[in-house]
Amino acid sequence: MSMISFATGNTNPETFPSDAFADAASVVLRGMATALNTYPGKLGHEGLRRLMAQREETRESVAVDPDHILITNGSMQAVTLAAEAFAPNRGDIVVLEEYCYVGSIRAFNAMGLEMVGVPVDEHGMRTDVLGQVLDRLAREGRKPGFIYTLATYQNPTGAVMPLDRRRELIALAQRHDCVVVEDNCYGDVHYEGEVPRALYALDPDPRQVYLGSLSKIFAPGVRLGYLMARPPLLERILARRNDAGPNTLAAAITHAYLHDKLWQHIAMANAALKVKRDTLLDALNRHLGNACSVTRPAGGLFVWIRLPDDVDPGRLKEIAAGHGVDFAHGSDFHIRNDAGPYIRLAFGYPTVAEIETGCERLGAALREARGSASR
């Protein structure tokens, strides 16, 4: 029995266009001797920046200057660059959703930042609490370096922040003169419904900094993310970029493949992911019964599950391993690793058949965890 893993946010290899991507590489690389033997500059591949500017313009209906975009080594380099620029000292404060992407939490921890959490509900960050938090910090004379938010397809909860909260967040950031770093790395991994515009599109203030990625709509192995910032914050971020620039090779090949079929690729990939999401939700419904509360994400790669109170997520994870299925413990995503009754299932990578079998195994593990009394 091989392990079926819902643990990590890997993407769908089934829709990756290997042959066409190889063909694009083969063509573009024949003319790149000069480009590959010179340094890329701090912004990176111009064609890819233009393509990502068009992507943002199409989704957000605002003009985007390609020279305000810097290509990064995945959006995680963008997260650390923003943190270095706006919270440069150990002990500086970042205000963020108290359940958040584990990679960002680890980065902020490694940088010695103080994380001040704001609760998350089915509509994302609780902006009413954010207001209280910012007021308290102001009273204490402790100005946050920045607010970090995954407003759309929040990781791990999958929540999409509605327009009224977005506007409230923007007003609070303005009132407190606080930089906002909006991480939209799941942007365009979208299945249904309307998504409000991004914070940067709602607010022309340059304190709005925005992170995007090709990891989730294309492939994480190309390691291409981007950071969008407007002067004067752009300059503060560029001052912290000291890696001699992003990857020309990966950007050129990815641009060569995607430049005339970005939305076509996204539509194809999302259609396959939606089948996986629906398979997962249907199988969870059948195998977990009504013991758990399960989100229905409108986008992104994760289903967030609240377990019954009598089931410890860590214990369930151990039992599930014995049944051949793995997932992420909710506490991994809490800024203080608090134990809550949550687990996260990532559905991008496993096949539809594996999702079905994995849920059957998870159901068996849950029944075992609950003990004979609950059967």
Binding site for a copy of itself (CB under 8 A): 8-14, 16, 18-19, 21-23, 25-40, 73-74, 76-77, 79-80, 84, 88-90, 103, 106-107, 110, 112, 215, 219-223, 239-240, 242-250, 253-254, 348-349
Whose tokens are 């003169």? That residue is 177
| Strand residues in 170-306 grouped as ranges (E) | 179-183, 208-213, 224-228, 293-294, 302-306
Task: Let me know: does 361 contact 325? Beta carbons within 8 Å.
Answer: yes
Question: Given the complex with a copy of itself, which of 213 and 295 has the nearer CB atom?
Answer: 213
Q: Which two tokens stand for residue 296?
A: 């229905």
Q: Alpha carbon of 106 to those of 101, 162, 171: distances in Å?
A: 9, 27, 29
CB of 52 to a copy of itself, least distance (A): 17
Q: Which two tokens stand for residue 246?
A: 């992003």
CB of 227 to a copy of itself, least distance (A): 13
Question: Given the complex with a copy of itself, which of 3 and 107 has the nearer CB atom?
Answer: 107
Closest residue by Cα to residue 111 from 240, 232, 247, 245 = 240
Closest residue by Cα to residue 217 from 72, 76, 348 = 348
CB of 126 to a copy of itself, least distance (A): 26
CB of 104 to a copy of itself, least distance (A): 8
Question: Given the complex with a copy of itself, which of 138 and 249 has the nearer CB atom?
Answer: 249
CB of 189 to a copy of itself, least distance (A): 13
Question: Given the complex with a copy of itself, which of 45 and 323 has the nearer CB atom?
Answer: 45
CB of 302 to a copy of itself, least distance (A): 15
Q: Phi then psi for 272, rounded to 5 degrees? A: -70, -40
CB of 46 to a copy of itself, least distance (A): 14
**124 DSSP 8-state letter:** E
Task: Let me know: does 341 contact 309? Beta carbons within 8 Å.
Answer: yes
Question: Given the complex with a copy of itself, which of 74 and 297 has the nearer CB atom?
Answer: 74
* Dist CA 310 CA 208 (whole Å): 43
Question: Given the complex with a copy of itself, which of 110 and 163 has the nearer CB atom?
Answer: 110
Beta bridge partners of 213: 225
Question: Given the complex with a copy of itself, which of 69 and 284 has the nearer CB atom?
Answer: 69
